[in-house]
């Protein structure tokens, strides 16, 4: 099966005089743990991760595609590789745009990188001690407060049929289904066993998945409804600038395009962005249909929609493709 996937990825790229590089990892595993206090767990699991980067021979164009699945039967590499091929072809003659604030459409993989990073700041102790964007001036936390656009809804559910995960976290705490953000309000903070005991709270397992609600439109349909904007395939090398606002910096790559009157007009040179996912999720114009993915450097399996956002901040240009 792995050989067939590799051949189906490499062959069409060679036919189009393009270069393919990627990986496929599929697992059939079981996990078990036990300790002297009587905590025990056993669970079987399957998982598939695939990515492929496609470059033009001269290195000026790059496309990318990634898929994550629990059932290999739902993975259609013949369709997916065409996405990367098309983006590699279309991105070769990139034009420079001035950095600034733009309406953007983030594909799910591009949005996931920022949302994943934000979730590390839902720690209750950080919030209680004033070290988080969820800390209130003068003490207390923003639990229950309106922090995001009312259309933002994110939950954890270890038994969700599309993104099921282990029923416990890395500390052996059982996971539960619960809202994280509901109608833009913060509904959840993560308590470790120690901090839960200190504060008289109940410790619940850290989420293994993030399930974000959206609409019904595809990325292509969001593009059709956009007068002017930028389509971002992927965000990469994301790093923290300011923990109090979750200001992040990173780069676009593997296909960034200018949109005009509902059409992709031409590729643009990649940008460095400086943006906070907290601000980003207050600048929503429209959300599309969520898809399953596993983000770079992420502990979560996610269902994330493509997002049309206003005033996304690109701070400088990048020569990388």
Domains of the chain by residue range: 2-90, 94-321
What pLDDT is attached to residue 298?
82
pLDDT digits (tens, 9 = 90+) for 179-215: 999 999 999 999 999 999 999 999 999 999 999 999 9
- pLDDT at residue number 78: 94
For the stretch 286-315, pLDDT in tens is: 999 999 998 777 889 999 999 999 999 999
Q: How far apart are CA 287 and CA 68, in angstroms?
A: 21
Average pLDDT over residues 242-257: 96
- Element of type H or E holding 118: helix 108-119
CATH pick for 2-90 out of 3.30.2290.10, 3.40.50.150, 1.10.3720.10, 3.40.50.720: 3.30.2290.10
3-class SS at 1?
A: coil
Give the CA count within 13 Å in the CB-facing half-sphere of 145: 9
Q: What is the pLDDT of residues 6-64, one digit of tens each?
A: 999 999 999 999 999 999 999 999 999 999 999 999 999 999 999 999 999 999 999 99
Cα distances (angstroms) measured from residue 10 to each of 106, 271, 306: 27, 29, 28
User: Residue 153: which pLDDT band, with cuts at 50, 70 and 90?
Assistant: very high
Tens of pLDDT, residue by residue over 97-145, are 999 999 999 999 999 999 999 999 999 999 999 999 999 998 999 999 9
Beta strands in 246-306 (DSSP E): 247-260, 263-267, 271-275, 284-287, 291-294, 301-304
Q: What is the pTM of this model?
A: 0.94
Query: Is 270:251 a contact under the CB 8 Å cutoff?
Result: yes
Cα–Cα distance measured from residue 180 to residue 176, given in angstroms and rounded to the nearest whole number: 11
> Is residue 181 within 8 Å of 187, Cβ to Cβ?
yes
């Amino acid at each position: 099966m792995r050989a067939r996937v590799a051949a189906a990825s490499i062959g069409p790229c060679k036919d189009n005089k393009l270069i393919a590089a990627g990986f496929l990892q599929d697992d059939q595993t079981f996990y078990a743990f036990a300790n002297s206090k009587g905590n025990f767990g056993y669970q079987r699991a399957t998982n598939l991760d695939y990515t492929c980067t496609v470059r033009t021979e001269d290195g000026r164009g790059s496309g990318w595609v990634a898929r994550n699945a629990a059932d290999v039967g739902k993975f259609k590499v013949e369709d997916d590789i065409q996405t990367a091929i098309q983006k590699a072809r279309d991105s070769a003659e990139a034009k420079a745009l001035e950095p600034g604030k733009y309406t953007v459409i983030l594909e799910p993989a591009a949005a996931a990188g920022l949302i994943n990073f934000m979730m590390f700041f839902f720690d209750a102790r950080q919030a209680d001690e004033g070290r988080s964007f969820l800390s209130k001036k003068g003490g207390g936390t923003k639990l229950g407060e309106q922090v995001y656009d009312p259309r933002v809804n994110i939950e954890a559910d270890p038994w969700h049929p599309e993104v099921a995960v282990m029923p416990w976290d890395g500390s052996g705490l059982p996971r539960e289904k619960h809202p994280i953000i509901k109608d833009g309000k913060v509904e959840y903070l993560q308590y470790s066993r120690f901090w839960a005991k200190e504060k008289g709270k109940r410790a619940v397992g850290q989420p293994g998945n993030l399930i974000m609600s959206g609409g019904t439109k595809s990325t292509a349909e969001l593009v059709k409804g956009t007068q002017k904007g930028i389509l971002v395939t992927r965000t990469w090398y994301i790093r923290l600038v300011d923990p109090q606002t979750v200001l992040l910096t990173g780069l676009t790559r593997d296909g960034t395009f200018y949109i005009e009157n509902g059409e992709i007009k031409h590729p643009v040179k990649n940008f460095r962005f400086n943006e906070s996912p907290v601000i980003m999720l207050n600048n929503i114009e429209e959300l599309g249909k969520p898809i399953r993915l596993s983000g770079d450097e992420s502990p979560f399996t996610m269902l994330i929609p493509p997002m049309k956002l206003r005033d996304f901040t690109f701070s400088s240009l990048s020569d990388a493709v």
